[in-house]
């Protein structure tokens, strides 16, 4: 029972660590999502409002007022919540863009009373939150053309924050001109045109950046699948953080070999398609038995499976499950198999020339595991004493044997084992 809990714990920890590292690289982290939301959207109006209030009240007076700190607090609250929603894939952008204005309004109403609502910049905060939130909310539900249009419009509206706050500042000054005459000033026309074009350019840049980001993420997902085929998920995850993971090194590992008995004679009377179909089913079923995070490498050679594992207890759990399921699979074909398990030191890493390399394992441990498998038949599991020693798992020895292994000067002690 202790071994069962240990195996389960190891599986959970390894699965979390491996998937988390790769997913972080593909999709970013929640922290990055919050920071992105803050700087690309949420903080724009608060910055413009702070500058407006600084100009109106003076630096010394304004920094001693609560207004600046309240709007920054509201801004950070919105970025935190909306960033978390974005990271989790929740489309709550309309509601999220109103968090900042709502928090700011509630706190300031308690401090200033209803006079707070009469300020144009405070009304503008709500107006921009509503408009940007509405456009963001609609984008996922529209066609590509409409979505691109909404993205451009969203960014143009966001750049208009500067224009609106400038107008509010100018027309709340003493002896301010009639707001209806705003565009009669050529400098104002220039300002409007530049701001509009800037928003247009930013919108197109956003569309282009998002397009290439999606292409990169899709490509990365495809490459992740291909890389895991050759390296395995655990090796790939660790190699992304440290290239030295792939360098040759000496490791203590457990090796499992599975070999179909009678395959050659069975395949002679069948079509290549039938043979390949049987083997693919055999390999696919075996993959469902492995704890993937415990697997260093899986290698298929003809009708043979080699699996290199990190943790003994997890490997033992897997091999019993493997034997049970593959036995049921092979019996209808009137085939049997042998399983050999051994533990020991080996060298693992990238092996090959400058142009062609593969992640592989070599050493006497691998050879011995293969020889043990060769001696097994009739669905039996033969495990060496090296593997069984200090193994924290419930198993039963059916028999003990001394086998001759090719290339070994001494006999190898093995036991046929079954699960209790």
Domain coordinates of the chain in residue numbers?
17-229, 248-419
With 90 as the cut, is the pLDDT of residue 339 above it? yes
With 60 as the cut, is the pLDDT of residue 7 above it? no
Whether 354 contacts 342, CB under 8 Å:
no
224 vs 174, higher pLDDT: 174
Q: Which residues of 223-243 are buried (b: 16+ CB within 10 A; e: fewer)?
A: ebeebbeebbbbbbbbbeeee
Q: How confident is the model at residue 10 (pLDDT cuts 50, 70, 90)?
A: very low
- How high is the pLDDT of residue 234? 65
For the ranges 111-120, 132-141, 354-363, the maximum mean pLDDT occurs at 132-141
How far apart (Å, rounded) are the C-alpha atoms in residues 28 and 35? Answer: 11
- How high is the pLDDT of residue 309? 92
225-241 per-position pLDDT tens digit: 766 666 666 666 666 66
- How high is the pLDDT of residue 142? 94
First to last CA, the chain: 11
Neighbours of 301 (CB within 10 A): 9
197 vs 218, higher pLDDT: 197
Q: How many CA atoms lie within 13 A of 183 on its CB side?
A: 3
What one-character DSSP code corresponds to residue 177?
P
188 is written with which tokens? 């104002």
Listed range (19-33, 136-150, 349-363, 401-415) with the worst mean pLDDT: 19-33
271 is written with which tokens? 């079509």
44 vs 188, higher pLDDT: 44
How far apart (Å, rounded) are the C-alpha atoms in residues 371 and 341? Answer: 10
How far apart (Å, rounded) are the C-alpha atoms in residues 390 and 313? Answer: 10
Phi, psi of 257 (to 5 degrees): -115, 140
Triad 15, 309, 287: Cα angle to 5°: 70
Name which of 125, 111, 119, 156 is nearest 43 in CA terms: 125
Average pLDDT over residues 98-120: 93
Average pLDDT over residues 171-179: 78
Residues with Cβ within 8 Å of 123's Cβ and at least 6 positions away in sequence, in order, are 117
Name which of 156, 164, 346 is nearest 249 in CA terms: 346
Place of tokens 């929740």: 90
- How high is the pLDDT of residue 296? 86
DSSP-based three-state secondary structure for 192: helix
Which CATH class, in words, describes the domain spanning 248-419? alpha beta
- Beta-strand pair 412-419/295-301: unpaired
- How high is the pLDDT of residue 9? 38
Quote the pTM value.
0.64
244 vs 326, higher pLDDT: 326
- Beta-strand pair 381-384/336-352: parallel
Residues with Cβ within 8 Å of 333's Cβ and at least 6 positions away in sequence, in order, are 266, 278
How far apart (Å, rounded) are the C-alpha atoms in residues 404 and 372? Answer: 9
With 50 as the cut, is the pLDDT of residue 278 above it? yes
Whether 201 contacts 195, CB under 8 Å:
no
Helix residue ranges per DSSP H, 88-143 = 93-96, 99-112, 120-138
Residues with Cβ within 8 Å of 303's Cβ and at least 6 positions away in sequence, in order, are 259, 260, 263, 279, 282
With 90 as the cut, is the pLDDT of residue 325 above it? yes
How far apart (Å, rounded) are the C-alpha atoms in residues 145 and 2? Answer: 59
With 60 as the cut, is the pLDDT of residue 177 above it? yes
Name which of 289, 334, 312 is nearest 388 in CA terms: 312
How far apart (Å, rounded) are the C-alpha atoms in residues 254 and 309? Answer: 5
């Amino acid at each position: 029972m202790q071994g069962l809990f240990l195996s389960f714990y190891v599986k959970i920890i390894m699965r979390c660590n491996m998937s988390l590292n790769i997913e972080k690289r593909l999709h970013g982290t929640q922290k990055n999502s919050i920071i992105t939301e803050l700087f690309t959207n949420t903080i724009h109006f608060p910055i413009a409002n702070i500058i407006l209030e600084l100009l109106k009240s003076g630096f010394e007076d304004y920094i001693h007022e609560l207004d600046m700190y309240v709007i920054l607090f509201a801004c950070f609250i919105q970025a935190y919540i909306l960033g978390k929603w974005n990271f989790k894939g929740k489309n709550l952008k309309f509601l999220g863009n109103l968090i900042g204005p709502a928090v700011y309004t509630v706190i300031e109403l308690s401090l200033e009373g209803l006079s707070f609502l009469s300020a144009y910049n405070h009304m503008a905060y709500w107006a921009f939150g509503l408009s940007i939130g509405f456009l963001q909310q609609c984008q996922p539900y529209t066609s590509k053309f409409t979505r691109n249009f909404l993205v451009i419009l969203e960014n143009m509206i966001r750049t208009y924050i500067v224009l609106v706050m400038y107008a509010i500042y100018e027309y709340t000054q003493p002896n301010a001109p009639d707001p209806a005459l705003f565009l009669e000033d050529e400098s104002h026309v220039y300002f409007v045109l530049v701001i509009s074009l800037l928003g247009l350019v930013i919108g197109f840049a956003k569309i282009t950046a998002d397009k290439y980001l999606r292409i990169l993420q899709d490509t990365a997902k495809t490459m992740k699948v291909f890389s895991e085929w050759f390296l395995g998920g655990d090796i790939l995850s660790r190699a992304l953080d440290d290239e030295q993971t792939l360098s040759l090194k000496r490791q203590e590992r457990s090796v499992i070999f599975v070999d179909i008995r009678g395959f050659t004679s069975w395949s002679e009377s069948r079509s290549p398609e039938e043979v390949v179909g049987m083997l693919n089913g055999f390999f696919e079923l075996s993959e469902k038995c492995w704890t993937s995070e415990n697997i260093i490498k899986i290698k298929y050679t003809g009708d043979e499976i080699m699996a290199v594992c990190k943790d003994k207890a997890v490997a033992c759990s897997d091999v019993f499950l493997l034997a049970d399921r593959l036995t049921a699979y092979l019996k209808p074909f009137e085939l049997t198999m042998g399983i050999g398990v051994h533990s020991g030191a080996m060298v693992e890493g990238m092996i090959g020339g400058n142009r062609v390399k593969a992640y592989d394992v070599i050493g006497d441990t691998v050879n011995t595991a293969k020889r043990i498998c060769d001696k097994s038949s009739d669905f039996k599991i033969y495990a060496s004493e090296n593997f069984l020693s200090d193994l924290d798992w419930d198993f039963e020895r059916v028999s003990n044997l001394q086998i001759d292994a090719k290339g070994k000067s001494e006999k190898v002690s093995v036991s046929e084992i079954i699960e209790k």
